[in-house]
Structure 1
Amino acid sequence: MGVRKERAARTEVALKEAARQLFVERGYLNTKITDITAVAGRSAGSFYEHFSSKENLLQALLADMHGQAGEAMADGAMPGAGEEPGDGTEHPREHDLTDRAQMRAHLAVAWRVMRANLPVVVALYESAITRGVRSDALWEQLVQDTAVLREHLEYLRDRGHRLPGEPVLVAAAMGALLSTLAYALLPSNEAGFSDEEVVGTLTELLLAGVRGESPEAGDPS
């Protein structure tokens, strides 16, 4: 890598890290581009060499978040899916979300990635507020973010399993539940719930919905 490209890469990383810091400390809406460049130790002009706007920066952070989730799934290999851990292959659609272990594994990855990217989770919610209630942007983002879940649900439907609704809607509902809970719980978690409790609760709740049944009373599994 040349000197200029290396310098540009360092600047991009610095801007992203500064944004992550400020989105948590001040909130997305209260953070200005000049705040980001000041914390990053870069000029305001350098910002626009990498991002066209604060929203464009947020989308870049979201893309990084998606990349982390993809790597976690590829490296962890979902139980029962047949692929080898760490083989680096694209996440296959042939996962059975009616299987408790596979449902839990997907939710655990999503929860860990959202915890690691709390600034992005916070910023996405605040950004959605500015778009207005009539905007389709939030729905489009939710559909994009839950594409993997939708593919798994389509796989179940294609095998003859009866879902509670269309795969795109069920996947979006699952994603909305996850992201809203993360936004409400992760910043402080005054309720004191552990990640294990959260993932376990979500697993049983969503498993019952996807299976089309209610959890059996007293079932500890």
Structure 2
Amino acid sequence: MKKHTIVKSGPSPAAADRPAKATRKGRETDRAFRDAARAVFAREGYFNAKISDIAAEAGKSVASFYNYYETKADLLIALAEEFDEEATALAVLPFRRGLSPEAALRESVAAFWTTYSRRRGELIGVFQASMLEEEFRDRWLTIRAGAIERIAGEVRRAQRAGYCPGIDPVLTASALSAMLEHFAYIWQAQGGERTEAEFDDERAVDTLATIWVKSIYWRDEAAAPG
């Protein structure tokens, strides 16, 4: 049996190596490049986007770009880190407010869906780059590992309460995370499946949350005492 080790969460190598922008002007320029990249990736796709396109969109020079990022992939990683930080902060809030697990999961899924919609440009780039660029894929999977650990923790808590006996927490977390990410990519970035379906944001969130809840919060009735 092949065994994989999940990389523990923490700052990615890119985040650790990227110097903080010390001045307000520096931070504003950095933000301009990030916002421009998001727009260009959404419009052109990651592989078609050029650094010169991003610089032009930001109203900055190409030379200025290299004061902030070594490559287009480095900028994409910065955007992926931002997405992960925002999505994580929003996802954990419902669990801290004393909601039922089912209600908290639905709010968490809704937060992911909304964040994905707002940051669709960089996430299109993440999807494309992770398929073909090995170094980027490794860095993205390191970022993603934190989310897998958090979901696995929710599975373990459910198991301690008597739910979902016997399932592997990490593999379940990976499967649920992959479902969420790819469903969002298909319906938000690619215009949806080429089949007839009544679709809106509310239906999307309800569907994802229902599958998520039923994947974790079930009991083995056969094993229950009679």
Same fold (TM over 0.5): yes
Deviates more, 1:204-213 or 1:179-188: 204-213
1:184 to 1:143, Cα distance in 2 relative to 1, 3 A: same
Which residue of the partner structure matches residue 101 of structure 1?
103
Among candidates 128, 131, 141, match of residue 129 of structure 1: 131
Alpha-carbon RMSD: 2.7
Which residue of the partner structure matches residue 206 of structure 2?
200
- Whether 2:44 is the aligned partner of 1:38: answer no
The offset of 1:140, in angstroms, is 4.3
- Whether 2:181 is the aligned partner of 1:209: answer no
User: Unpaired runs of 5+ in structure 1?
Assistant: 85-94, 215-221
Which residue of the partner structure matches residue 47 of structure 2?
29
Number of residues of Structure 1 aligned to a counterpart in Structure 2: 193
Deviates more, 1:44-53 or 1:119-128: 44-53
- Whether 2:148 is the aligned partner of 1:146: answer yes
Bigger relative contact order, structure 1 or 2 (CA pairs below 8 A, ≥6 apart): 2
1:82 to 1:185, Cα distance in 2 relative to 1, 3 A: closer
The offset of 1:167, in angstroms, is 1.7
Give the Cα separation in 1 of the matches to 2:77 and 2:35.
14
Matches within 5 A, 1:78-97: 78=94, 81=95, 83=97
Which residue of the partner structure matches residue 68 of structure 1?
86
- Whether 2:174 is the aligned partner of 1:172: answer yes
TM-score (norm 1): 0.75
Aligned AA (2:81): A
Give the Cα separation in 2 of the matches to 1:107 and 1:21.
24
Which residue of the partner structure matches residue 88 of structure 1?
none
TM-score (norm 2): 0.74
> Is the 1:163–1:210 contact (alpha carbons within 8 Å) kept by the matching residues of 2?
no
Give the Cα separation in 2 of the matches to 1:213 and 1:41.
57
Identical pairs, percent: 25
3-state DSSP class of the match of 1:186?
Answer: helix
The offset of 1:188, in angstroms, is 5.8
Give the Cα separation in 2 of the matches to 1:42 and 1:104.
41
3-state DSSP class of the match of 1:193?
Answer: coil
